[in-house]
Amino acid sequence: DVKVTQSSRYLVKRTGEKVFLECVQDMDHENMFWYRQDPGLGLRLIYFSYDVKMKEKGDIPEGYSVSREKKERFSLILESASTNQTSMYLCASSLYPMTVNYGYTFGSGTRLTVV
């Protein structure tokens, strides 16, 4: 079974800390995505990557950066965590150009609390 694995289910960090959220997929997918999910706001795209070392900003990139050194791994970095970054973070991947056929495969999510 294909998998997208997020390294942590729950994470508690302090304000100002540098936070790394890791995502690994085993499907050889080109595209990878980071979303945050907040009540009433749906899924908001932070960053996505369509190839190794390639990235594009999504709708809400401020306060975040990403790294994709290998095809299977896409990391989200909170440079200096703030309380307004408390959220559920979802990683997804998709096959290009077959996104339209297969959609996305999601990880289980990381619930980050910044205190």
d(C-alpha 92, C-alpha 33), whole Å: 5
Q: Is 107 in the site for another protein (CB under 8 A)?
A: yes
Q: How far is CA 20 from the centre of its chain?
A: 10
d(C-alpha 103, C-alpha 115), whole Å: 35
Q: Is 21 in the site for another protein (CB under 8 A)?
A: no
Q: Is 106 in the site for another protein (CB under 8 A)?
A: yes
**Helix or strand holding residue 113 (H, E):** strand 110-114
Residue corresponding to tokens 């200096």: 80
What character string, x for contact with another protein (CB under 8 A) and - otherwise, covers 29-58?
--x-x------xxxx-x--x-x--------
Which residues contact another protein by CB under 8 A?
A: 4, 31, 33, 40-43, 45, 48, 50, 90, 92, 94, 96-97, 99-101, 103-104, 106-109, 111
